[in-house]
Structure 1
Amino acid sequence: MKSAKPVSVVRNHAMRFGAEVFDGGTRFKLWAPLHEQISLKLKGKRKNLAMEAIGDGWHRLEAEGVTAGTLYKYVLPDATEIPDPASRYQPEDVNGFSQVVDGRAFRWTDVEWVGRPWEETIIYELHVGTFSEAGTFRGVIGKLDHLVRLGITAIQLMPIADFYGSFNWGYDGVAWYAPESSYGTPDDLKSLIDAAHGRGLMVFLDVVYNHLGAHGNYLPAIAPIFNKNHTSPWGDAINYDGAGASVVREFVIENALYWVNEFNFDGLRFDAVHAIQDDSTTHILEILAARIRSARPAHYTHLILENAENQESWLKRNSSLIPVHYTAQWNDDVHHLLHSAATGENTGYYADFDHLEERSDKLGRALAEGFAYQGEMKPHEGMHRGEPSVGLPGTSFVVYMQDHDQVGNRIKGDRITEIANADAVRALASVYLLSPQIPMVFMGEEWATKRHFPYFADVPPDMRDVVLKGRQEELKGTPEHDDPAKPAVEETVDPTLRSTFESARLDWSALGLREHAEWLQFYRNLIDVRRMEIIPRLAGLEGFSSGYEVIGPKAVAVSWSLAGGATLRLYANLASDTQHDVPQIRGRRIWLHGYSEEASLGPWTVLWTVELAS
């Protein structure tokens, strides 16, 4: 008789750091090489417990009778009390007591879930605090069916590592192992992932290993977390190659393994890896990819980069077309080119992507090959940027029309539907959602929400003026500031106000309005075409399989060789008032936005065809 399949499973990542529950008690372990003695404080207990120094900066204590739910802190020799840097939960925020969590307590129902192949991926980026009315992990669960109906196959959570205060984009996290307490408990997060898997949705997590937030970071008080020989945009760089770096590296690697092993995330998105400074013989990014992949050989695990350096080397495939290190990279080049075409903005992000009348070759190249600049000089930056990427398959890139950065790093956080006409936006969506590159929708985009997504960050009261002025200074290079018709930078939305955070919460009631319902149907139709015509032909996609031709100012023809000998063709005219003749249109039409007459494309017209092998 065949044994019955289990209805639930336990997942627990045994960590080298922090508090680990065992039968009868809890083991506490802290790396604090700057101190010879550390004590453990249990909330509600008068007497602190001395930890044993076990060498190489490690301190350990096995506390019998200490169970899940216990609140604790570490006490330094000068009586300073600090939360656990590897805390699994901070119910009292980042400065408060840490809580012992038993990772074995949650029962997962996604017993047979192994993820989905990368070519099936359609990403939906969301911010947990503003995505739903509740602003919590469980609030996201209530919206999963909407995403399934839309055709999404993966949600990507903006960073959730616990940060100071009650609202933040997430990129100022300081408790890397603790899900943000205002979003819910660790089990609430697991419930979200379990529910998503039950609906066939993958879940990715955005992680930040290039810096720590300024408020609530206690690591410098106990360990050499920073290396002053390097700098980052946020100050001293994380110590990946100096004295003590081996344990710092392990702290980061363990964090990534914790998320994928215990929380069963299907992938990670690594923020701004170009800001990670590592001169060791083996870069931390190489070790991270190898350790994560070896930990889950039977699971589809997708690793995504944000990398302003556009380095092809991190995206290489082996002879079986399997990623050696990372699966894909966010493709800012395509975004910048599409945005500039639709809005006419040509400063800030877009300074090297304007004048498409003269640079249509960049648009064709970015769509066909990935990077628009592949080692050439970028005039605005005054430096050479990028590596040749023609040898990479299109699925090595994540493409989008909006993301948290490109929307949020505007003076008001306004979305593209407010700064470009509807025909232009629909043309851009028609390009990126059917591209062989992997598409990503930013939350609310699918119904053209009118809610802005400005930058927001809760900070201590004495820091608010400094943060606002810093934000104004940062935004001086934005297109709005350079355009006299746009608001002055002094009108920047104050990121420290709770009202700013609340203003970004999605307006789900708007889906009942005809305008937004029509946008939603448009996106559903596009994703249906992708599901039927594009995804089945992406498996085994190779590099050196694309080509492009400039057919006029802001107009290109691009082709890709796909599985089964099929050729996918794009004919796009992103001019607002000019009709362009195109080469012979070949193949079966699968999508048309705008109008096409014989061999001519009207303004804002996007035509996709598929030509099968004869």
Structure 2
Amino acid sequence: MIFEVWAPKATVVEVDVLGGRRAMSAGEGGWWTAEVDGAGHGTRYGFVVDGDGPYPDPRSRRQPDGIFGSSAVYDHARFTWSDHDWKGRDLRGAVIYELHVGTFTSEGTFVAAIEKLPHLVELCVDFVEVMPVAPVPGGRNWGYDGVDLYAVNETYGGPDGLKSFVDACHRAGIGVILDVVYNHLGPSGNFLRPFGPYFAGYDGSYWGEAVNLDGPDSDEVRRYFIGNAQQWLRDFHIDGLRLDAVHALHDRRATHLLAELAQEVDALACSVGRPLSLIAESDLNDPRMVRSLDAGGLGMTAQWNDDVHHALHCAVSGESHGYYQDFTQLTALAKVLTSGVLHDGTYSSFRARAHGGSFDGVAGHRLVACLQNHDQIGNRPVGDRLPIPALKIGAGLLLTSPFTPMLFMGEEWGARTPFLFFSDHVEPELRESEGTRREREFDGFGYVWEAPNPSDEESFLRSKLDWTEVKEEEHWSLLCWYRDLIALRKALPELSDPRLDRVRVEVDPGGRWLLMWRGELAVAVNFSQESATLPLPPGTVLLTSDEPVSADGDGLRLPAQSLVISRPGAS
């Protein structure tokens, strides 16, 4: 077989394989190649650059012994797929379920996650969004410290494990979105630097050095990331990618990396014959992110929408610290439900400047919204989740909103287990400083930072879901509520209508209640700790979080902290 690697500045490159080093030949564009008889699927190898190494292959498809071990040849064609009837799934009208493989089950593997797919089928979600699976230091990590971006964490089950999971999801009618990180690489086990100018030479974000997307020799660096995206979508049958923190991609080229990626993914979708989605995580509130390429946008299918989360969180929790300070009034929730974002050029107290642009004309399905996600739980000092009463009314609003709703694993039954930040760095200095680094990252967020040590295994073990909770009455009741909400959303077109200009919202000046109109349907929410009467004509109650709901003169009386979906005037 032929080994190849990009090392444009190297004088001598060798491949260490089958018990010896073999010289590689320099070719065009800084690429080196060597043909080695007898090498094939499973063969261990590494590259030696100007006498240093051996290092793992930058495009290693498998790291059997982790990030510090040799690469292994992996032949994608050896896996037998059974998803031949899968035609893909469009993001429009979909519900997403985010999970972390290592804590989704007690075993923390793809095989174990497959066993939970019937639960997701009954919940009626359309996509699972899997947090990053690239190899990481040690045995536990959120995934954002990944290196060897073309490989799959062996702890979870390696490349065959991921393929088996995707195959099973497709057979169950569920699409798969994979979270990928292109704005930085982990601080441990990152061996790209000896091969070429993969980095820009300055800190691109809090998490690490900026990737070289627009400097000398950056053409090949861009192809490294675009090729990685194509691999997941083509060779692993993934249906979409969630692109981590794209605001930390430093690219001054006329064609931004995201636009170039969108072009390539559109072409790939034509080739594979199924829709492929790109979802950006961005805190810019920039509508160009989701505008089409021919309209001058970056061509992302959708983006995460923190403003919706913040407004929902404030409404159901009453918190007002840090970046929540502009979202404490129900008028903020009313604005995000009808305009997509709160900060559309308005002043952001947290940033101490004007922020964002108008999303006028953008369809709501292009904004992925949530009540909880890995960041919003895990970036709290003790990883605490919302209580069940808050989840009930928050989910009721989220799942009747014009956005693409996303749930976080365990949310649907009100899991009591936290989701803590955890890592397992090998180097003592990284391991010992992780807690302090984490505290510095959230300085100014308004937290009293008394968090468990991220390096302690207990932080990881405590974050694993406890599936026995589902059998308890309170948790089972909440699960049924989530199932009913999703079923109603899919049954009534008004509830998945993405047109923001058709959403009407009324709020109580006293901050007790909110009324959202979706066509002829009304979603009435009482946030207060006492019963309240909303100005809602009598009609047919389609779904209610709590009993009793009763007519009260010209209005509808709701119990404390409750939500009702009704069709006023119908009987």
Matched, 1:391 2:361: yes
Name the residue aligned to 2:543.
591
Counterpart contact for 2:396–2:563, Cα < 8 Å: yes
Residue 88 of structure 1 corresponds to 61
> Residues 513-592 of structure 1: matches in 2 within 5 Å?
513-534=472-493, 538=497, 541-542=498-499, 544-554=501-511, 555-560=513-518, 566-577=519-530, 579=532, 581-582=534-535, 584-585=536-537, 588-592=540-544
Q: Distance in 2 between matches of 1:574 and 1:391?
A: 30
2:268 pairs with one of 295, 306, 309: 295
Q: In the TM superposition, what is the alpha-carbon distance from 1:542 to its structure 2 partner? A: 4.2
Residue 98 of structure 1 corresponds to which residue in structure 2?
71
Whole-angstrom distance in 2 between the partners of 1:601 and 1:28: 71
1:137–1:188: 8 Å Cα contact kept in structure 2? yes
Alignment of 1:147-296 (within 5 A): 147-228=120-201, 231-296=204-269
Q: Which moved more, 1:496-505 or 1:463-472?
A: 463-472
Amino acid at match of 2:407: V
The 2-side partners of 1:273 and 1:587 are apart by 46
What is the CA-CA distance between 1:150 and the residue it aligns to? 1.3
| Unaligned 5+ runs, structure 2 | none
591 and 369 in structure 1: CA distance in 2 versus 1, 3 angstrom threshold: farther
Pair 1:344–1:537, CA change in 2 (3 A): closer
AA of the residue aligned to 2:320: N
Distance 1:204 1:385 in 2: 29
Q: How big is the shift at 1:601?
A: 5.0
Distance 1:324 1:241 in 2: 17
Which amino acid in the other structure matches residue 375 of structure 2? D
2:378 is aligned to 408
Q: Which among 45, 67, 78 is matched to residue 40 of structure 2?
A: 67
Contact 2:89–2:275 (8 Å) recurs in 1: yes
Identity of aligned residues (%): 36
From 328, 336, 339, the counterpart of 1:369: 339
Matched with 1:424 is 390
> 2:538, 2:551 within 8 Å by CA — same for their partners in 1?
no
- 1:78 aligned residue: 51
Q: CA deviation at 1:606?
A: 2.5
Do residues 39 (structure 1) and 39 (structure 2) align?
Answer: no
Structure 1 residue runs without a partner (length 5+): 1-25, 482-488, 561-565
Give, in whole Å, the separation in 1 of the partners of 2:65 and 2:357: 46
Indicate the SS of the match to 2:492.
helix
Find runs of 4+ consecutive structure 1 residues off by over 6 angstroms: none
Q: Deviations over 1:550-571 (max 9, x none)?
A: 33333333334xxxxx544433
1:311-390 equivalent positions in 2, closer than 5 A: 311-316=286-291, 325-354=299-328, 356=329, 360-390=330-360
How far 1:235 moved relative to its partner? 3.3
SS for the counterpart of 2:508 is: strand
CA distance in 1, matches of 2:430, 2:389: 43
Question: Could you say what secondary structure the match of 1:242 adopts?
Answer: coil
Contact 1:567–1:612 (CA under 8 A) maintained in structure 2? no
How far residue 390 of structure 1 moved from its aligned partner, in angstroms, is: 2.8
SS, match of residue 155 in structure 2:
helix
Alignment check: 8 A CA contact 1:551 1:580 kept:
no
Change (3 A) 1:86 1:196: same
Deviations 1:71-113 (CA, angstroms, capped at 9, x unpaired): 0010122332210111001011011000100010011111121
Q: What residue is the counterpart of 1:28 in the other structure? A: 3
Question: What's the counterpart of residue 451 of structure 2?
Answer: 492
How many residue pairs get aligned? The number is: 560
**Structure 2 CA distance for partners of 1:424 and 1:184, relative to 1, 3 Å:** closer
Give the Cα separation in 1 of the matches to 2:495 and 2:3. Answer: 50
Partner of 2:466: 507
Deviates more, 1:298-307 or 1:142-151: 298-307
Post-superposition shift, 1:575?
A: 3.2
The code of the aligned residue for 1:514 comes to E
Whichever residue aligns with residue 462 of structure 1, its letter is E
Cα offset, 1:543, TM superposition? 5.4
Q: Normalising to structure 1: TM-score of the pair?
A: 0.86
- Aligned mates of 1:239, 1:430 — CA distance in 2: 44
Deviations 1:1-56 (A, max 9, x none): xxxxxxxxxxxxxxxxxxxxxxxxx221111123121100115x1x2011111132
Equivalent-residue separation in structure 1 for 2:464 and 2:11 (angstroms): 47
Deviations 1:570-613 (A, max 9, x none): 3333233473543x448754333354644245442333345899
1:497: how far off? 1.5
Structure 2 match to 1:131:
104
> What is the aligned-residue RMSD (CA, Å)?
2.3
What is the CA distance between 1:535 and its match in structure 2? Answer: 7.7
